[in-house]
Amino acid sequence: MATLLPDSPAAMTAGTAAPALETLIAKGKPRYRTATEFVEATLRDGILSGQIPGGTPLRQEDLAHQFGVSRMPVREALRQLEAQALIDFAPHKGAVVTTISAADAADLFAVRLALEPAALRLSLPHLTPEDLLRAADSIADMDGERDLNRMGDLNRQFHMTLYFRANSPRLLALVEQHMAVFDRYLRFELAALGWDHLKQDDHRALLDACHDKDIPRAETILTDHLRYADQALRTFFAKRDGQIP
């Protein structure tokens, strides 16, 4: 069976090997209830993990063939991805994976800086000792982790544990969605900051502040934490994009 994205422009400019969609499909199969769910979840994972790079055109027929379904569930899945701003969908022209960029990273941080401190502020007073233990476990798990995608999951899990009691479903959904989108930049953040000191000090300090129920301190730590990553990414992109010409 043909592989997806063998000669997408983004794949070529990035110089990365073109991954086959089969690996994504073969992954953990949570027994999707509909083909649309299956296609949507698989494509989203592929995009967020970076396996389907920005700029990749998503041909309906190709996707249908590779997923072993007809074009209809593919179309429904693409509609949902469009609403999540993961693909651009132009009438009669087709879908293209949205590109990532320094400007988009800054944009994303602006959203996270708006959402996450708000979620933390609402959640912190209701956090239970069990919640804090789970958060501590997430930190411990991150210490030994070397896989980028799993690291992203753990990081998201840690933060979401702290936000979880916010009792604000819309806010939490937005936070989670944008943290997931940020996974697309995780490899760059890694390149900018390095593996080991990947903000674990911040995580522990944040957890301490939550333990003390100190809202202003926790908010400050979280805000600085995000700003620091934002700044690191900015300088990284500035250096990288300065080299090109």
Instruction: Report the candidate in 124, 154, 118 with the shortest Cα–Cα distance to residue 139.
Output: 154
Between residue 43 and residue 62, which ones bind DNA under the rule CB under 7 A? 57-61
CA distance 154 to 85: 24
Closest approach of a copy of itself to the CB of residue 204, in Å: 25
Tell me: does residue 238 bind a copy of itself (CB under 8 A). no
Tokens of 221: 């730590």
Strands of 57-58's sheet in order across: 57-58, 94-97, 87-90
Torsion on CA atoms 115, 113, 150, 56, rounded to nearest 10: 90
Among 12, 41, 102, 113, binds a copy of itself (CB under 8 A): 113
Told to check if 91 binds a copy of itself by CB under 8 A, we report yes
Smallest separation, CB 8 to DNA (Å): 12
Q: Which two tokens stand for residue 10?
A: 């983004």
Smallest separation (angstroms) from a copy of itself to the CB of 107: 5
Task: From the list a copy of itself, DNA, none, pick the one residue 173 interacts with, judged by a Cβ distance below 5 to 8 Å according to partner type.
Answer: a copy of itself
**In sequence order, what DSSP letters do the residues of 128-160 get, joined into one string?**
-HHHHHHHHHHHHHHHH---HHHHHHHHHHHHH
Does 76 participate in binding DNA (rule CB under 7 A)? yes
Instruction: State which of residues 22, 61, 107, 212 lies at the interface with a copy of itself (CB under 8 A).
Output: 107
* 31 binds a copy of itself per the rule CB under 8 A: no
- Cβ proximity to DNA: between 64 and 198 the closer is 64
Number of residues that bind DNA (CB under 7 A): 21
Per CB under 8 A, residues contacting a copy of itself are: 33-34, 36-37, 72, 75-76, 79-80, 82-85, 91, 104, 106-108, 110-111, 113-115, 117-119, 122, 166, 168-171, 173-174, 178
Per CB under 7 A, residues contacting DNA are: 34-36, 57-61, 69-73, 75-76, 89, 91-95
